[in-house]
Structures are given as C-alpha cells and as structure tokens.
Structure 1
Amino acid sequence: MTQEIHGAVADGYEPVREEFAAFVAEERPDYEGQLCAYVHGRKVVDLWAGTADGGGSLYGVHSSTKGAAHLVAALLVQDGTLELDRKVTYYWPEFASEGKGSVTLRDLITHRAGLVGTDTGFTLAELADDRVVAERLADQRPFWRPGTAFGCHALVIGALTGEVVRRATGRTIQELHEERVRAPYGLDFFLGLPASQELRFRTTQPTAPTPKQRALLEEPPGGPHSLSSIAFNRQGPEPTDLGTLPNERVIRSRGPASIGGVASARGLAGLYAAAISEVDGKAPLLKPDTVAEFGQIHSAGYDLVARCHRSYGLGFQATADTWHPFLGAGAVGHGGAAGSQAFADPASGLAYGYTRRRSAFPGDAAPENDRLARAVQRAALTG
C-alpha cells in the first residue's frame, strides 16, 4: 500500500513533492518521515508521510544536534564573547592537563583535539550530562597529538564546546539555544525536551540489518579498543546503542549538545533559515562574515574515527564536500545517525531539514537526502 503524502509546497516546487512521493513509494510500508525547506527565509516545502499528525511529530536527530550547539558558538564569536584563536585554557584552566595546554578553541571545534572519548568509556547517565563528560575529558590524554589530525568527536564535541561556553558566559549551550534561537523563532528543535512535549516524540526504530551488515555490526573494524569504538562508546561497561539513544528519556530531557536534540524537519530547516535569512521580519542570526568563517573548511581528508573522507568547518560539517557536492561552497550543516540532515546553503539561500523515524543503515545522513536536497535546490535555482 502506497503511503499518502501530506503537506504542501510553494508554486514551482511541485517536483520536490513528486520526488518525495517517489522515494516514499520505494521505501518500506511503515516509512515515517518529514521534509521541510526554506528559500531566502520563505517556507517552500513542508511534507510528511507515515502519520496524520499535521507534521508535528518530533524525532531524535542525533548529530544534527551539533549544528544547533555550534550556532550558539557562532553567535558568541560574533558577539566577541568567544575568540577562536584563544587557548581553551583561557576559559577552562583545568583543560591543560595531559599535554592539552596549546589547544585553541578553533582546534577544539574542528575535531582536532584528539579527545574522542575516554579510556574507560561513559555510562548512560554520564553521556546525558555535558558537564560530567567535560570533566572526564579534561583529565584524558588525547588519542593523537592535537592539531596533527582530525576525527569525529561524535558523542563529546558538544560537551567540549559547551564547557567553554559555560565558563565564558555562566550559561549552558542548552539555555542559550532556548533563549536566543528556539524560543524567539518558535522552533521545534529542543536541546532538552520538556515533559509537556513528550507526547509528540516518536521513538527511533532500528532497521534490521542484512546478514552482511549484521556481520559488520558484530565485528566493527579495528576491534573493541579502536578509535571508532572509543568515539562511539562501545568499549566501556555500558556500550552505547547509538541508533536508539534518543529513546532514553534522560537523553531527551537533558539534551546533551552532541547527540540529544529532538526536532521536526520544520525545526531543523527553521534553525538554518533563521541563521542565514530574514524570517518573519527578524534579521538573520548570523552576519555573512560569520557564516563564511564558520563554513570555511578547516579539517578535510581522512577522518580517523569515521575511517573515510570527511570535511568540517567550525563545528559544522562542510556539507558540500562531505555530502552534497551540488551545493555552494560554504554550505554548513550536520547529519544525524538515524538519517536526519539539516543545512544552510548561503549561495542559494536554501535551508533544508529532513527527519525519519526508522534508522538508516549504516547511520548518518540517510542516502535519500541526496535526491531530496537536489530536487529542492533545483527548484530554488529555477524558480
């Protein structure tokens, strides 16, 4: 039975609806997901399938959370509260232990500090608490010489950035996101889901892997103490099930700034629209120079954790190089383990958000984002 496609598109964006419908028809009968896009601050795509809830369901967005966290960092740099080339120890003196005294904030948020985890791993309660994660990492010896290489700090980059933010402002990233971004724009993108919103949350459903995929999951490359295992917390006493992590209420309620965000596609796209465009009469959150600096590629090449090519700007993924080469240089965003994707492309004024309930295999931004984002951009450029 073909899923019904709900929602609307602006004139000229009918091909996006057709592409979304074609993808949904190819998916499992229980597919559930959302697609939203803005162009120059105007919502042009708002589609969903698998529910009849008006498109208001909320999903765990895993690493797409990092984009919201580093939008806060970008605002603080723009304000002059944070300086990218100051040493982290200027804000956080305890960080200097184990040879980390020379690490700058720029190094830290471009995944170059070598602090992808700890030798002994984290419990679930620790992962939910950014301050505890930061305290543990302050005492940890880096897994490579800081600045010489990079690797995705998958579960901890938000805690590291967040501790600098807290030391500089006395406020957490979660508090600043709420006050400066989410609440003013009414965004369905929470770093700390209130109990009043719990009924809107849809638990992440794992995808049953094929036999070949199951073998990869059971025997991850590099063994139980590899950088990848450490970065994804598979080596400790409570190995993390990344795919279903947002299903834990403690993760949703605390909203750890690496992986704890809960959002709809509207919230994802709205965040990036607000970052680069005037929305509902409100000026863009970021000035063009700030967007350009945070979108400039700082780390590119072989990611020691992901074991493949990746590119990062300041806190954000360099979306055009890592995921969608048809986007303009300087596009910023972040994908998430269950398949979510969100980005802003300043060159075309496009802000994009996608969520799905069932995890994509093997994780990160789901493959369908390429065709969906391409369809939106094509309509934006020809409209």
Structure 2
Amino acid sequence: MTQGITVHGTVAEGFEAVREEFAAFVAQERDDYEGQLCAYVHGRQVVDLWAGEGVGGDELYGVFSSTKGAAHLVVALLVQDGTLELDRKVTYYWPEFGAEGKSALTLRDLLAHRAGLVGTDAGFSPAELADDRVLAERLADQRPFWRPGTVFGYHALVIGALTGEIVRRATGRTLQELYEERVRAPYGLEFHLGLPVSREPRFRSTQPMLPTAEQAELLAAQPWGPHTLTAIAFNEHAAKPTVLESLPNDRTVRAKGPASVGGVASARGLAGMYAAVISEVGGKAPLLKEDTVAEFGQLHSVGYDVVSRGHRSFGLGFQATADAWHPFLGAGAIGHSGAAGSQAFADPRSGLAYGYTRRRFAFPGGAAPENDRLARAVHRAALASS
C-alpha cells in the first residue's frame, strides 16, 4: 500500500466524492502507483486529478488500445462528411485487399472486428508493428483466419492499420495527419498519434506490474499456445514475439503513432477528446452529430470473441462501453480501453466524457479494475449535477 502519496488537482462543486473515491483507491495501491483521472460534463471540465511521485496533470503515458478511439473518430468524421461509406466494400477504396477471399468484406464489418485478419502467418517484426503502411501491405495478401463476417475477434494490433489504409486511399492523407489537423491541434489535446520530440520530456515509460502469486498462476494456466488465434492476434508467434507492455517505450512507435496501439496521452487528453466528440468545447460545435455517434455506438459485434475468448462488445471501431465495461452508462456510450489500464469514453446521454491513465500494467490487462469505481463515482456526480 502507498505511504502517504498525495492526490493533486481539482474537482468542481458537486464532484467532491470523486476525489474521495480516487484518494481511497490510491491509498490501497502500491507505493510506485502513478495515475491520472479527468472528466468533463457537457463540455465543462469537472475532474482533474493525479497521484504519484513526480507526476503532474500533463504527464504523458502510452495508452495502447485507447488509441483506437482516436483513430476511429477520424473514420467517423469521414463517414459523416460522406467521404467514406460504411456499407461499401473495402475493395472499393483498396482493390488489393480483395486477395485470398476478402473481396466481399465491407467497411462496416471491418470496423466491427469481423474481418478475420488479426495478423499474418509469420507475424510482424518490431519495425513493422510501428508502421501502419507496412502492416496494411502485409495484411492485404493474408488469407483471413475465419470467413469474413461470420464471427468476430479482436484485431488488437492491426485494426488501425487496416482502417488507416482505407482513409489514406480515400483522402490521400494518413489517418494520423487527419487526426492532428481535425482533432488534436484545434483543441490543443495532449493525445498524440505521433509524439513530437518537443513533448518527449513529458513521457513516462510504461512499466510492467509484477503479478501476485495468484495472478501468476492464472497467467501460467492460460490455454493458448504460440500458434493459436490469440497468439497470432498479439504477435506472440513472430520470430521476435511482441512484449506488449514495451511497445510505447520504443521511440519509433511513439514517433509514428500506429493507430491501433501507438497513442501517447494524458487523462486530460483522453477526456478532452471525448468531450469534443459529444459537446460544445471552446465555442466549437461537437465533432460528431448525434446520428453519427448513435451509428458508431450501435451494437454490432456482441458475444463470444474468438480471439480474446470471452464476452466482448463492439460498435464501429469503438468498444460498446456500457456493455463491455460499465453497465451503469447510457446505451450508446462509445470509447476504448487500453492494455496498461487506461480507459476513455463518451456517454452522450449524461454528457460525460472520461479519461484515466496509469503507468504500470493492471492485471489482467484492458481497463484497470479501478475504472469501475472511479467511472461510477463520476457518472453519479454527473447525473446529480444535471
């Protein structure tokens, strides 16, 4: 447990219970805990908290799959513009994708993790994982691991490269360029898909959390081997198997910002992006119209995920956050968690936008368990303040 780690930051009137909940959690954590919590309600920042030695509210962390939320916000904007159409075949934008039985797949099914293209037979090198263009080229030639559209499975390391290639073919711009131009820069968000050198001093390297004896036993009992679908999806079968927690510690990954896992952010950046998605912020209209949020948040793939081997819920590019993580949220909440424990979402029905980061991996991966109590406290306060 922590020995006197102080919680810093501010909360708006009516959100004092959130600070108390965060402090209670921090008091139970390890001495080396570092984390941040931020939330907006109807475009107004109401929570901005952090804890940990040497940590401020502007420290930056690898947010792993929370990156997918930023990536697919770009796709949603392009659908809203009419540049992309969800029910067009992927080959309309990217003809080479049709090889090996993939020609009938639509953009909608791809976004819903139904492509069956979670990796390649031989796996990827570290340099390839950092480069979405190279990943897309390799994946275009790959035979899918299930018949596209029939089941779904989490495309953990590649979904952003696949959708990013469609963005590039349709616009002539990379997904990362459009995100910077249309989302990050206009709002001054500390959520980067491609971390500039000037922001490197704020980056805190990801550190693995050593499992307890019970957790280590559970990990050792995991049923998948090196050539299973799960291993392929997480590149554990490659000549140099991927060590997931090390990805953001590679400067090449941080610099290129691969759209599946390469984002670097603060909790302020995560929450600020989702606030801009659903609310007026700084005099700017919400980035997405209500109909667009509703379509991307609509349940598309729900049930048994053949990769992660458990119950999962996806909308289009986003996790269906209420079903996937936090059932107290309103229907249609959209967001994405990250492997080290980050969580970020927008709940249009309450006007809540939420962001959480932590430095050390939380067992067993994905949204850290504390998010449930923290998000619940913020949501309760948000409803009471309305």
Task: Using structure 2 for the length normalisation, give the TM-score.
Answer: 0.98
Counterpart of 1:3? 5
Partner amino acid, structure 2, of 1:327: L
Distance in structure 1 (CA, Å) of the matches to 2:221 and 2:176: 36
Partner amino acid, structure 2, of 1:348: S
1:37 equivalenced with 2:36 (yes/no): no
Counterpart of 1:118? 120
Q: Retained in 1: the 8 A contact 2:34–2:55?
A: no
Q: Retained in 1: the 8 A contact 2:344–2:356?
A: yes
Distance in structure 1 (CA, Å) of the matches to 2:326 and 2:174: 32
Where do residues 230-379 of structure 1 align in structure 2 (5 Å cutoff)? 230-379=232-381
Counterpart of 1:149? 151
Distance in structure 1 (CA, Å) of the matches to 2:369 and 2:214: 19
Counterpart of 2:134? 132
Per-residue deviation at 1:219?
A: 5.8
Q: Retained in 1: the 8 A contact 2:5–2:53?
A: no
Distance in structure 2 (CA, Å) of the matches to 1:158 and 1:244: 19
Per-residue deviation at 1:211?
A: 3.4
Question: CA deviation digits over 1:333-361, x for unaligned, max 9?
Answer: 00000000000000000000000001101
Counterpart of 1:189? 191
Question: CA deviation digits over 1:215-251, x for unaligned, max 9?
Answer: 4545642211111100000001010011221111111
Where do residues 9-28 of structure 1 align in structure 2 (5 Å cutoff)? 9-28=11-30
Deviates more, 1:345-354 or 1:204-213: 204-213
Distance in structure 2 (CA, Å) of the matches to 1:257 and 1:215: 33
Counterpart of 2:58? 56
Distance in structure 2 (CA, Å) of the matches to 1:211 and 1:121: 31
Per-residue deviation at 1:213?
A: 3.0
Give unpaired runs (5+ residues) of structure 2: none
User: The residue matched to 1:355 in structure 2 has which SS?
Assistant: strand
Distance in structure 1 (CA, Å) of the matches to 2:40 and 2:326: 17
Amino-acid identity (%)? 77
Question: CA deviation digits over 1:174-225, x for unaligned, max 9?
Answer: 0000000000000000000011111100001101112343345456422111
Distance in structure 1 (CA, Å) of the matches to 2:46 and 2:106: 40
Partner amino acid, structure 2, of 1:90: Y
Per-residue deviation at 1:54?
A: 3.5
Per-residue deviation at 1:286?
A: 0.2
Distance in structure 2 (CA, Å) of the matches to 1:111 and 1:233: 17
Distance in structure 1 (CA, Å) of the matches to 2:54 and 2:351: 30
User: The residue matched to 1:252 in structure 2 has which SS?
Assistant: helix
User: The residue matched to 1:103 in structure 2 has which SS?
Assistant: coil
Partner amino acid, structure 2, of 1:196: S
Distance in structure 2 (CA, Å) of the matches to 1:87 and 1:220: 37
Per-residue deviation at 1:29?
A: 1.1
Question: CA deviation digits over 1:46-84, x for unaligned, max 9?
Answer: 000004454110000000000000000000000000000
Distance in structure 2 (CA, Å) of the matches to 1:44 and 1:201: 24
Per-residue deviation at 1:30?
A: 1.1
Distance in structure 2 (CA, Å) of the matches to 1:119 and 1:2: 50
Deviates more, 1:43-52 or 1:266-275: 43-52
1:178 equivalenced with 2:187 (yes/no): no
Partner amino acid, structure 2, of 1:259: V
Partner amino acid, structure 2, of 1:25: A
Distance in structure 1 (CA, Å) of the matches to 2:119 and 2:205: 26
Per-residue deviation at 1:2?
A: 2.0
Question: CA deviation digits over 1:3-30, x for unaligned, max 9?
Answer: 1010000000000000000000000011
2:106 to 80, 99, 104: 104
Partner amino acid, structure 1, of 2:344: A
1:229 equivalenced with 2:251 (yes/no): no
Distance in structure 2 (CA, Å) of the matches to 1:138 and 1:90: 14
Distance in structure 2 (CA, Å) of the matches to 1:94 and 1:212: 47
Counterpart of 1:70? 72
Distance in structure 2 (CA, Å) of the matches to 1:99 and 1:231: 19
Partner amino acid, structure 2, of 1:298: H
Question: CA deviation digits over 1:115-164, x for unaligned, max 9?
Answer: 00000000000000001000000000000000000000000000000000
Partner amino acid, structure 2, of 1:302: Y
Distance in structure 2 (CA, Å) of the matches to 1:2 and 1:308: 38
User: The residue matched to 1:61 in structure 2 has which SS?
Assistant: strand
Distance in structure 2 (CA, Å) of the matches to 1:225 and 1:266: 39
Distance in structure 2 (CA, Å) of the matches to 1:211 and 1:38: 38
Q: CA RMSD in A?
A: 0.9
Distance in structure 1 (CA, Å) of the matches to 2:122 and 2:214: 30
